[in-house]
Amino acid sequence: MTDTPLIPLAILTGFLGSGKTTLLNRLLKDPDMAETAVLINELGEIGIDHLIVDAVDDDIVLLESGCVCCSVRDDFTAALLSLHHKRSEGLIPAFDLVVLETTGVADPAAILQTMMEDPLICERYCHGPVITVIDACYAGENLAAQPEARSQLMLADRLVLAKADLVEAGQRDELAGRLRASNHLAPLLDAATVAPRTLFAPLTPRDMLARLDQARSAAGTPAVQAVQAGFGGHTSQYSTFHIGWETPVPRSALETWLEGLLFARGDDILRIKGVVNLAGEARPVLLQSVRQSLYQPAFLSRWPAGRPRTDLVMIARHFTKTAALNS
């Protein structure tokens, strides 16, 4: 591999019938989708025949907007590698972003783990935002009954509210409040108006710093201590909490703690995001994990708190802040 920049891979998810297809139909017509490749579960179901200007093969078509659309059959990693190969060979236009549309019952954590653990994918792609589409009409029922829907909500970097025009303003506002309480780190966007480059913008260190600032300021509120009851009580199994300290952490101690914690409770700890005050290192170290898998650590330019300290946000189920501190 050459030292070419890694391509961000955004994940577009949402439970069955949430409105992903309608959202994609609108976005695929937008000129801002130029230099973007979209992996779609089934091209025939998305209704884009009238937008196609060329067919590269049975699985890849080019749209008027300049977007490359690729059908994912069974193996999304194979589709990603094939797409990158065709890009490198000049068989399709160059793209600087890939959007992966998941099935309605997909768990984003499994996709993120696959990305992080496949060396061929890691050589070509980097982690982009997880975007979850929420059905304003049936969010309550889906989140109460479907564990996949709850995982999609908790793992989202951005939430998109679809079909908001089909519910009363009061109901919409109540739902928005409950969604923010469940995942206060993810901004809530409107499916009818959000622009592609806003929706799919790669996550940056600045995003991480802003999220950590929010988490620290809200650390004493019930919304951060646990997901608010209201979606049938089931989401109370999940919690989003912040832990932090100022004492520098030796690298060996951090590695031992993380390895032990994720080995023992990795299935319950959906995400860890944050910065670490590493002993002997002046810069903050960006730390992220998905279940048992750790991202490659990276360095940031400044400390979120304005001074060296460790700040971690955990998204977990059946695992509390007290348990994390005692670990």
Q: What is the CATH number of the domain that holds 312?
A: 3.30.1220.10
| Residue 171, phi-psi category: left (phi > 0), alpha (psi -120 to 50), beta (remainder) | alpha
Question: Using CA atoms, how far apart are residues 325 and 225, in angstroms rounded to an integer?
Answer: 13
- The pLDDT of residue 321: 82
Please state, as a whole number, how many other Cβ atoms lie within 10 Å of the Cβ of residue 141. 14
- The pLDDT of residue 228: 38
Torsion sign across C-alpha atoms 325, 153, 189, 72: positive
- The pLDDT of residue 11: 92
Q: Are 100 and 69 in contact (CB under 8 A)?
A: no
Q: Are residues 138 and 269 in the same domain?
A: no
Q: Are residues 17 and 121 in the same domain?
A: yes
Provide φ and ψ at 71, rounded to 5°.
-85, 130
Q: Are 91 and 57 in contact (CB under 8 A)?
A: no
Identify whether 2 is part of a domain. Answer: no
User: Would you state the structure tokens that stand for residue 20, as one six-digit string?
Assistant: 């992903």
3-state SS of 37-52 is EEEECCHHHHCCHHHE
Q: Are residues 162 and 225 in the same domain?
A: no
Identify whether 291 is part of a domain. Answer: yes
Identify whether 170 is part of a domain. Answer: yes
Residue 303 vs residues 94, 243, 249, 273, 281: alpha-carbon distances, Å: 36, 16, 15, 14, 12
Q: Are residues 43 and 113 in the same domain?
A: yes
Q: Are residues 190 and 221 in the same domain?
A: no
Residue 254 DSSP class: H
Q: Are residues 21 and 132 in the same domain?
A: yes
Sheet holding 60-63, edge to edge: 52-55, 60-63, 68-71, 36-40, 97-101, 7-14, 125-135, 158-162, 188-190
Torsion of CA 140, 142, 148, 154, to 10 degrees: -20
Domain boundary among 166, 199, 232: 199
pTM of the model: 0.75
Q: Are residues 263 and 167 in the same domain?
A: no
Q: Are residues 32 and 168 in the same domain?
A: yes
Q: Are residues 138 and 15 in the same domain?
A: yes
Count how many domains the chain has. Answer: 2
Q: Are residues 222 and 139 in the same domain?
A: no
Question: Using CA atoms, how far apart are residues 100 and 9, in angstroms rounded to an integer?
Answer: 7
Domain extent for 283? 205-326
- The pLDDT of residue 220: 45
Q: Are residues 105 and 215 in the same domain?
A: no
Query: Helices 147-155 and 108-117: crossing angle, nearest 10°?
Result: 60
3-state secondary structure of 2: coil
CATH at residue 144: 3.40.50.300
Largest CA distance in the chain: 60
The residues, any chain, with a CB within 8 Å of residue 106's CB and separated by 6 or more, are: 13, 148, 152
What does the pLDDT profile of the chain (327 residues) look like in tens digits? 456 789 999 999 998 889 988 898 889 888 988 888 888 865 555 555 555 655 666 667 676 766 777 777 567 888 899 899 999 999 988 999 999 888 888 888 888 888 888 899 989 998 889 999 999 998 988 888 888 888 899 889 999 999 999 999 999 999 998 898 888 778 999 999 999 989 998 877 666 666 666 555 554 443 333 333 445 444 456 677 888 899 999 999 998 998 888 888 877 887 888 889 999 998 888 888 877 888 778 888 778 767 898 988 888 877 878 888 887
3-state secondary structure of 285: strand
- The pLDDT of residue 10: 93
Domain boundary among 199, 227, 249: 199
3-state secondary structure of 9: strand
Domain boundary among 165, 199, 233: 199
Identify whether 1 is part of a domain. Answer: no
Q: Are residues 209 and 313 in the same domain?
A: yes
